[in-house]
A = this chain, B = another copy of it.
Amino acid sequence: MSSDSKLSGDKATVHKVTVHEVAKYAGVSISSVSRALSDHPHVSNALRTRVRSAALSLGYRPDFLAHSLRSGTTYSVGFVVGTISNPIMADISASLGNVLADHDYAMMLLSSQNKPELETTYLRFLAHRQVSGLVISTAADGATQAAELIHGLGIPTVMLDRQRPPGSHVSAVQSDHRSGMQAAVAHLLSRGHRRIALIGGQEFFDPARERLAGFHTAMQEADIAIDPELVRCMGMSKTVGYTETRSLLASSNPPTALIAGGNLILAGVLQALQELKVAVGRDLALVGCDDTELTRLYSPPITVIARDLALMGETTAWLLLETIANRAGRTVVLPTQLIIRDSSS
């Protein structure tokens, strides 16, 4: 079955087996072949088995493109991501792609580089290819623009780590950043810290807003006034992490603990701390978001607000398949978990 035809590799004259040949071989009509193979009702057992065996012995597989054209379903989904170089997205993408492949879906990956205009370009690109579904973690600023486009396209979609926009064909997978942040703050408070700084994304960005809310709640619950100087919600980037860390530590009354509200921010924070010769864990307690190779292997290992990224990818896949089938969008919120390591002791 595998290497029946000359595997020349240069001529590649495999003579595709078509439904026509199967029909002739089995002595039936084309339409009967199609029906027999796709489990239609009203097909006699005799005919079904005859066609089945004919197809098998000829090695027939329906042409993918012809099938797509006729049926209108491409069995492929588009994944628009800020950048796959972000280890979070890489982990999610891995499990997402695997579950999809298990269901015979192909995943087309496109990196928008967090540029809203590239995002819409790619969404149209994917729409033109008639993908059966979309997964997207929209850029921080182009959120409404993308949401409108997705709404207009009418393609079943899962928003990744974003709020669910209106539209019955769009779902969302979110993380419980708020609780995670509350746990992190509570942990630092229990270690005696009172001056806790937070570097995060801007408030219009869903995950950043949730984290900030959790921060406020936890501090209020402990009855501790927040020094506004210590809260720096400027953007989800390495640059922000770097700049704000230097600024915070240069102050006359620096924080004793720092929470980096995003893995990109953490990278900037670490670089700044290294340059300033600040010993992580001794001079400054540090908590990051999302568990990566870096946080696990760093010396000392870094406490993080983690989430199960593989689970997140799988959930996204399942939710997308569900939304494709039902066209009834919904939101799924996954838990976060505080992993305490040496950086905050």
Q: Is A202 in contact with chain B by the CB < 8 A criterion?
A: no
Given contacts A9-B169, A12-B154, A69-B69, contact A85 B87 (CB under 8 A): yes
Query: Residue of B at shortest CB range from A269?
Result: B297
- Nearest-neighbor residue (CB-CB) of A170 within chain B: B9
Compute how far the CA of A243 lies from the CA of B167 in the bound complex, rounded to whole angstroms.
53
Q: State in angstroms the CA–CA spacing of A267 and B298 once bound together.
A: 10
Separation of A84 and B83 alpha carbons in the complex (Å): 12
Q: Does A64 contact B (CB under 8 A)?
A: yes
Segment among A37-45, A93-101, A178-186, A253-261 that sits at the interface with chain B: A93-101
Q: How many residues of A contact B (CB 8 A)?
A: 62
Which one of B66, B101, B152 contacts A7 once the chains associate, using CB atoms below 8 Å? B152
Q: Which residues of B are found within 8 Å of A125, using beta-carbon distances?
A: 101, 104, 106
Across-interface contacts of A294 in B (CB, < 8 A): 293-294, 297
Closest to A310 in B: B85
Point out the residue from B14, B84, B122, B128 that lies within 8 Å of A64, measured CB to CB.
B128
**Bound CA span A261–B90, Å:** 23
Q: How far is the CA of A152 from the CA of B11 in the complex (A)?
A: 10
Given contacts A84-B93, A108-B109, could you give 7 more A-B pairs where the C-beta distance is less than 8 Å?
A64-B130, A87-B87, A93-B109, A98-B111, A107-B109, A267-B293, A298-B299
Sort A-B residue pairs by CB-CB distance and give the 7 closest, nearest first: A12-B154, A7-B152, A9-B151, A65-B69, A106-B108, A109-B109, A90-B90
